Structure 1
Amino acid sequence: MTANLSDGVGGRLEGVRHVLTLRIYYEDTDFSGAVYHANYLRYMERGRTEILRAIGFDHRALWDSAKEGFVVRRMTVDYLKPARMDDVIAVDTWVHEVKQASLTLDQAVVRDGETLVTGRAVCAYVRDGRPVRMPQSMREQMARKE
């Protein structure tokens, strides 16, 4: 069974932004009680996956049908403030730039309106490990302004 956005699973689109809400659990934290830095990468990966799903593209279906999809080519992350156990955070994801075979997404991890972490991911669209043009309909959806 595949969950859809109306189930409350996978976040929601707010205009051209995607917002994924998550709770921080004990397993997400380090010895100091703050979220372990690598876990933010996991949260942001979920946000990137869910923005694609929200506009009608599924990583699994793309791979199963044509052996194609996105890979992260470069990522920059700025850690500003820590999240802690039981915090509710939002992973905001939006498009910075769309090219023929790549997509740059900006992301912010936010708690109660305060930005904790920011990131930018440059993702290449590949088939069998080689860059290819992403589907036109995907480029159009990602490049939309509202």
Structure 2
Amino acid sequence: MLLEEHTGFVVRHMDIDFIRGARLDDQLTVKTYIEEFKKASLTFAQEIVDQQGVTIAKALVKVACIDNVKMKPKAIPSSILVELKHSDG
């Protein structure tokens, strides 16, 4: 559906805070929440925690909606916003 509408998403900006280290075999969980909805972008807040629930890292990820053909920003389709709002929290 998205490709047919020439719709894609790209990471526009990311801030990340590495709080603690982790090892290769550690089991980590990534928790993701939608922090902000805008007309053509979303900001996700992410938290990586270890098995004990200790936060390893935090990130804010701004994702922009683009027209894949024109490679320019476009409004997020309403069908996607409805799905995201229903899945939020």
Shorter-chain TM band: 0.7 to 0.9
| Higher fraction of helix | 1
1:132 correspondence with 2:74: yes
Higher relative contact order (CA 8 A, sep 6+): 2
Residue-by-residue CA offset, 1:84-132 (whole Å, 9 max, x unaligned): 0211001111100111111000001110201101000111100031111
On the 8 A contact 1:125/1:131 being kept in 2, the answer is yes
RMSD of equivalent CA atoms: 1.5
**2:20 aligned partner:** 81
TM score, norm. by length of structure 1: 0.54
Task: Quote the residue 2:60 is aligned against.
Answer: 120
Alignment of 1:46-65 (within 5 A): 62-63=2-3, 65=4
Matches within 5 A, 1:5-20: none
How many residue pairs get aligned? The number is: 85
SS at match of 2:24: coil
TM-score w.r.t. length of structure 2: 0.85
The runs of 5 or more residues in structure 2 that have no matched partner are none
- Per the alignment, in what secondary structure is the counterpart of residue 81 of structure 2? helix
State the partner residue of 1:111: 50
Rounded to whole Å, the distance in 2 between the matches of 1:104 and 1:140 is: 16
Contact 1:98 1:143 in 2 (8 A): no
Percent sequence identity is: 33
Higher strand share: 2
